[in-house]
Amino acid sequence: MQEKGLLIVLSGPSGVGKGTVRKEIFSQADTAFEYSISVTTRKPREGEVDGVDYFFRTREEFESLIANEKLLEYAEFVGNYYGTPVDYVRQTLDNGKDVFLEIEVKGARQVREKFPEGLFIFLMPPSLSELKNRIVTRGTESEEVIHNRMLTAREEIEMMELYDYVVVNDQVELACERIKAIVVAEHCRRERVEHRYKKLLEAE
């Protein structure tokens, strides 16, 4: 029987750099997991490609995905829907491949309920002031948006307790290394591997 892959969920407060870390991980040739492309109602940013960065859909299309239970999780974030296509995740895991989700915290909480055996990694900013700097230097947000994002960030950090591991995003390369090391360790977890050896013993 094909062993199932691992569902890896990377989440954390808004502005912590989840997207940057995810892009770095998937730019590395030795990355062995599959990225689950999300569906969103947000408009594409310059350079973003449908089916590569996201599946860009209308609200009506997204709502029909919800109604037809095609999403593993979904959340509304800054006025847009974001969700994870469930069929892709299940099929890829069934094929024995690891699936990587990079999603905000409300979605991650839903995945935890449906897939408690997943690997949940919380990406942390080195400090709250650092987080504010990042949100401000993005330069695209108004004072009010920055204030609201910081409030949200505090609430999101309190959600850390739902996760298995915490990775500080002090440097992107280091954060990626830590995430990959966690995945390697998780594959060696006794609960995941012992059935192989039990089978061996039974065959004796």
* Binding of residue 14 to ligand 5GP (CB under 6 A): yes
Strands (E), the chain: 7-11, 34-35, 39-40, 55-56, 71-77, 80-85, 99-102, 119-124, 165-168
Nearer to ligand 5GP, 57 or 178 (CB): 57
User: Which of residues 35, 77, 88, 165 is near ligand 5GP by CB under 6 A?
Assistant: 77
User: Which of residues 7, 8, 25, 84 is near ligand 5GP by CB under 6 A?
Assistant: 84
Q: What is the 3-state secondary structure (H, E, C) of 39-81?
A: EECCCCCCCCCECCCEEECCHHHHHHHHHCCCEEEEEEECCEE
Nearer to ligand 5GP, 98 or 104 (CB): 104
Nearer to ligand 5GP, 35 or 165 (CB): 35
Provide the binding-site residues for ligand 5GP, judged by CB under 6 A: 14, 18-19, 38, 42, 73, 75, 77, 82-84, 102-104, 107
